[in-house]
Amino acid sequence: MRVIFMGTPEIAVPTLSEIIGRGHDVVAVYTQPPRPAGRGKKDRKSPVHELAEGFGLEVRTPFNFKDPAEVEAFQALDADVAVVVAYGLLLPQAILDAPEKGCLNLHGSLLPRWRGAAPIQRAIMAGDTQTGIMIMKMDKGLDTGDVGLIDEIPISPNMTAGELHDEMMVRGADMMGRALSALERDSMDFTPQSTEGVTYAKKIEKAEARIDWTQPAAVVHNQIRGLSPFPGAWFEIEINDKPVRIKIIKASLVDGSGAPGTVLDDDLRIACGEGSILPLTVQREGKGAMDVETFLRGPGSLKGKVAQ
């Protein structure tokens, strides 16, 4: 089939590779424009942009589809279907209607739960034990389209957002490949979403990353998992008479009690409102991630200090 691919971050890369590998004609790739990144703040192309150029595909990077000329250029591609994976732009009705078989979206939740921008992080932060991937035919609503394929994924007690992201990245590519095969045979059935159980996965705000030690340990643990590895749940603690920001990349729930935020032992076990957590992998400000034993070789014991 003639396919338009629309995606931007790393999670979209395997799906584009799968579509190419299955022999579809990718007539254009739409992705977010290059943006400043890294220490030098030089413009960096998206992961999808890099892959598409490597395959010699036409890459388009509009800032939006408000210009009628952009819509006309999209329509002129005469695509059978558009595949959308974490593209990052709202698509107007004229774009949704342009491909003969519509626009298919790969979404990382069991809709209608966690519609919106951050379904992976929100599922883990909420303590969900089950999530999944859905292939949805897009409409004008926010993740409200009819669903064609479902793949359920259990969330283990210590799974991080990064680990779930990586699993979805692989499974989602295979799902979209199968969806396109079914669509080509006209054997894809779409089912309307339930009107019950709707929740929204709003974008992660910076303020949500700071750990509130007055919360129960289970809540803190879910926050750490849901924000790992990025942006990373963090706290500050005094080291050599200066406050230092520490991100917790991985942690476990452990026994122990004390005033919230208090470091209870030499292993950096920290008391919460109920119970405690033990950081396993941390990242000191300006440094790379490291196991907690390596981190503690610097400041030594922090027992008795209070994490803020």
Point out the annotated binding site: 109-112
What are the DSSP calls for the chain, one per residue?
-EEEEEE-SGGGHHHHHHHHHTT-EEEEEE-PPPEEETTTTEEE--HHHHHHHHTT--EE--S-S-SHHHHHHHHTT--SEEEEES--S---HHHHHSSTT-EEEEESSSTTTTEES-HHHHHHHTT-SEEEEEEEE--SSSS-SEEEEEEEEE--TT--HHHHHHHHHHHHHHHHHHHHHHHHTT----BPPPSSS--EEPPPPGGGGB--TTSBHHHHHHHHHHTTTTT-EEEEEEETTEEEEEEEEEEEEE----STTBB-STT--EE-SBSEEEEEEEEETTS-EEEHHHHHTTT---TT-B--
Cα 89 → chain centroid: 15
State the binding site for (6S)-5,6,7,8-tetrahydrofolate. Answer: 109-112
**Nearest CA to 70 among 79, 80, 60?**
60
